[in-house]
Amino acid sequence: MHYTTSGQGPVVILIHGLFGDLDNLKALGKELETDYTVVRVDVPNHGASPHISAMNYQTLADNMADFIGQLCSKHGCNNVTLVGHSMGGKIAMATALNYPQWVNKLVVADIAPVSYQSRHDAVFAALESMPVNELTDRRQALTHMQASSIDDGTAQFLLKSLTRTATGFAWKMNLSGLKSSYPDIIAWPEFGAVYEGPCLFVRGGDSDYITAEHRQAIMSQFPNVKAKTIAGTGHWLHAQKANIFNRIVKDFITS
């Protein structure tokens, strides 16, 4: 797994969401690195991490546990704090449920331990129809996204995964692998486990990713839970109100 390390102290791993990369939670990393060893990872099939054929939360948790073991032998720690947004939050939860001995604290940003309906069809269509081999600059890519009815904020986020090559452009992410794994990415398996450690769920006040109907699913799997809502934010709460989000997360980790 590709990752960056900064700071010093207890280890905190930051895990981004679908279509993202390790820069998504960079501002949070800056906030934490004065007191913690911050490890930002590229999830498999994203950024500079290896492309794999199948992504599911059991496999991703197994990979993360192996990675934590390597980090702890390197940094002399017994466990880490996991912070994940969206899909990254599901990876963090799956790791905590399956390998609680490795997880000291858990922070989940705007996702619940439940299965969701498909909501990325338009995004996949826009990405798959992008003529990457014919692009000469990034403005053409943005125009294509806008013509595909993708809003500017989402388009700019997605185009961070577009990289220039010797012959034009290419996606850093494994688009076909993400498409084929998408049913598993929006699903949530029945792990039959409970994570008793301290955890914080942070939701966007305008987001529908965590709602009242998810309360039982959260409480039954993560009974030692605190919850915070950031008003005036949607699913991208860590970017929309970064200062508030970063402070909430740091206060919980430090407490």
Residue 110's identity, in one-letter code, is D
Query: Tell me: the pLDDT tens digits for 8-18?
Result: 999 999 999 99
User: Which is the catalytic residue, given 86, 144, 181, 238?
Assistant: 86
pLDDT at 153: 87
Residue 85: what pLDDT? Answer: 97
- Percent of the chain at pLDDT exceeding 70: 100
Q: What is the pLDDT of residue 97?
A: 98
Q: Is 235 a catalytic residue?
A: yes
Which residue in 16, 85, 144, 235 is the catalytic one? 235
Question: Looking at the predicted structure, is the pLDDT value of residue 178 above 90?
Answer: yes
- pLDDT band of residue 133 (cuts 50, 70, 90) is confident
The domain limits of the chain are 3-115+187-254, 121-179
More confident residue, 167 or 29: 29
The more confidently predicted of residues 137 and 41 is 41
Confidence of residue 124 (pLDDT cuts 50, 70, 90): very high
Residue 192: pLDDT band (50, 70, 90) is very high
Q: Is the pLDDT of residue 166 over 90?
A: no
Q: Residue 25 above 90 pLDDT?
A: yes
Q: Are 34 and 64 in contact (CB under 8 A)?
A: no
CATH code that applies to domain 3-115+187-254: 3.40.50.1820
Q: How crowded is the C-beta side of 12, counted as CA atoms within 13 Å?
A: 28
Instruction: Output 153 or 194, whichever has higher pLDDT.
Output: 194
86 flagged as catalytic: yes
User: Which pLDDT score, from 0 to 100, does residue 19 have?
Assistant: 95
Give pLDDT tens digits for 45-104: 999 999 998 899 999 999 999 999 999 999 999 999 999 999 999 999 999 999 999 999
* Mean pLDDT value across the chain: 95
pLDDT at position 165: 87
Cβ neighbours of residue 171 closer than 8 Å, sequence gap 6 or more: 127, 130, 132, 161, 162, 163
The CB-side HSE value for 130 (13 A sphere, CA atoms) comes to 31
Q: Are 130 and 227 in contact (CB under 8 A)?
A: no
Instruction: Report the range of poorest mean pLDDT among 98-102, 114-118, 147-151.
Output: 147-151
